[in-house]
Every structure is written in C-alpha cells, then in structure tokens.
Amino acid sequence: MSDTVSFGYEDIPASEKTARVGGVFRNVASRYDLMNDAMSGGMHRLWKDRFVRRVKPHAGEQILDMAGGTGDIAFRLQPSGASVTVADINPAMLDVGMKRAAERGIDGLVWTEANAETLTFPDRFFDAYTIAFGIRNVTDIPAALREAHRVLRRGGRFFCLEFSTTTWPGFKEAYDAYSHHMVPRLGQLLARDADSYRYLIESIRRFPDMPRFEAMIRDAGFAQTRVEPLLGGLVAIHSGWKI
C-alpha cells in the first residue's frame, strides 16, 4: 500500500485514515439510519433487499457481515436461519445496531468490533462474507479482500454492495450535482454535520470503478467474479467465489 491514501478528496498519510474514518462514523452513528433514508429517498432499502436476495442465505450457514454498522444487512440475513456475525470497527455504530435489534425483538446476532484488514476469525470459518457500503472506507482494501478470502471456506461466497460510477449519460451529471450540493446540506440539517457527509460523497468519487474493483477482488484470490450494476452502476453488487 502507498504511504498516502484518499480521505474524500484529500490525500492523507495511510496511518491516519482509519482514525479519521472512525471520527466520521462516530459523529454520524445516531443519525446514520435517518440520513440513509433522506439521502437515497429510501432506495438504500431496495438495494439492500436485492443484495441479500443475491447472497441467498440458508439456515445453518455462518455468515460474516463485515462493516455491518447499525445492522441493516444482518437484519435481512437472519430470517433465513443463518448464524450472522456483525463485525465493525466502530463501537458507536455497533451500539446503535444493538439497540435497533433489541427494539425489533431480533436476537441471536453476534456483534463484534473488528477491523476488516486484520480479522481474528479462523481460516475457512464462514460460508458467506458480506460488506455493504463499507469497503470504500477501509484504508487497505486489498488487505481486507485477502482477509475475506482467508475466513471463507472453500465454496464460500463474497458479496459487496458499494457505490460505484454510473455509466448512464445525463444521470451521472445530475447525481454529481445532487450529491455534492444537496447531501452536505442534508447532513447539516438532519445530523448537524456537513463535513462527514462531504467525506462520504467524496469517498464515493475516489472509489475504483467497476472493472478495477472486480480486478481487485480477483487479485485477492476469488474466482467467477461478477458485477451487477444498479442504476447504471451508481451502486454495484460485486461477488466472487472461493474455490
């Protein structure tokens, strides 16, 4: 990994990124779910529903939802009967997730603090690894992908939901204008924090496009990689198999 990495549009020393990202999610944790609905007009719920349909969770499987935050993916995985571990580096996000689970009467999820780059789970433990809107915040993405590969058993599947780059003409420009101008304003209005939301939008722009990210997943050892663009690639589901 190079010495500097992107933090939104800034280039910062790699050693500082994890703490800076931690600050962003600590600040937004209590308003995170409200803001997701406000920013996406509720569409993140449909993207997450589709993502979990692609994962096809089964009873008895062990699934790791990495960067699981406030639990949206885990809450959708669990009705299948799978055993779901929610891992996230940020205790503030996990706290909100555990409260939401209690409010909904969901128990049986395992909540654990973990850095995606350095997991302590044993090799070949999980049947599936999911990460939704998390990977672009990780400092060393190749390290996180290698860890995903390590903790999956042979035949295990990797699924990533992340913002990407839409290829629909016209839509890209409209979305750029919306996200750069409106999202920080919404962040200020609803979460009293324009800067964190400016980072979140800028980090989307710096994230590798679909072919480049798919190549990174292959480089980590995954086979039969696939990309499913949503809204022309505004959001994408990347997947691969450990064989």
Ligand X SMILES: C[S@@+](CC[C@H](N)C(=O)[O-])C[C@H]1O[C@@H](n2cnc3c(N)ncnc32)[C@H](O)[C@@H]1O
61-96 per-residue burial string, b: 16 or more CB within 10 A, e: under 16: bbbbbbbbbbbbbbbbbbebebbbbbbbbbebbbeb
Instruction: Confirm or reject binding of residue 69 to ligand X (CB under 6 A).
Output: yes
Q: Which of 21, 55, 109, 151 binds ligand X (CB under 6 A)?
A: 21
Q: With contact defined as beta carbons under 8 Å apart, do 186 and 37 qualify?
A: no
Instruction: Confirm or reject binding of residue 7 to ligand X (CB under 6 A).
Output: no
Part of the chain binding ligand X (CB under 6 A), chosen from 82-90, 104-112, 147-155, 175-183: 82-90
Q: Which of 61, 117, 127, 202 binds ligand X (CB under 6 A)?
A: 117
Q: Which of residues 154-173 bind ligand X (CB under 6 A)?
A: none
Q: Which residue, 83 or 141, is less far from ligand X as judged by CB?
A: 141
- Comparing every residue's Cβ against ligand X, the nearest one is 69
Instruction: Confirm or reject binding of residue 115 to ligand X (CB under 6 A).
Output: yes
Q: Which residue, 114 or 223, is less far from ligand X as judged by CB?
A: 114
Q: Which residues are CB-neighbours of 164 under 8 A, at least 6 positions away?
A: 207, 209, 210, 213, 229, 233, 234, 235, 236
Q: Which residues pair with 88 in a beta bridge?
A: 113
Q: Which of 39, 73, 109, 191 binds ligand X (CB under 6 A)?
A: 73
Q: Which residues are CB-neighbours of 214 under 8 A, at least 6 positions away?
A: 225, 226, 227, 238
Give Cα 17 to chain centroid, integer Å. Answer: 16
Q: Which of residues 124-153 bind ligand X (CB under 6 A)?
A: 132-134, 137-138
User: What's the one-letter identity of residue 82?
Assistant: A
Instruction: Confirm or reject binding of residue 116 to ligand X (CB under 6 A).
Output: yes
Instruction: Confirm or reject binding of residue 90 to ligand X (CB under 6 A).
Output: yes
Q: Which helix (H) or strand (E) holds 113?
A: strand 110-113
Q: With contact defined as beta carbons under 8 Å apart, do 222 and 144 qualify?
A: no
Give me the least distance between CB of 93 and ligand X, in Å please: 4
- Look-up: residue for tokens 């600050």? 23
Instruction: Confirm or reject binding of residue 88 to ligand X (CB under 6 A).
Output: yes
Instruction: Confirm or reject binding of residue 78 to ligand X (CB under 6 A).
Output: no
Residues that bind ligand X (CB under 6 A): 18, 21, 25, 67-70, 72-73, 88-90, 93, 115-117, 132-134, 137-138
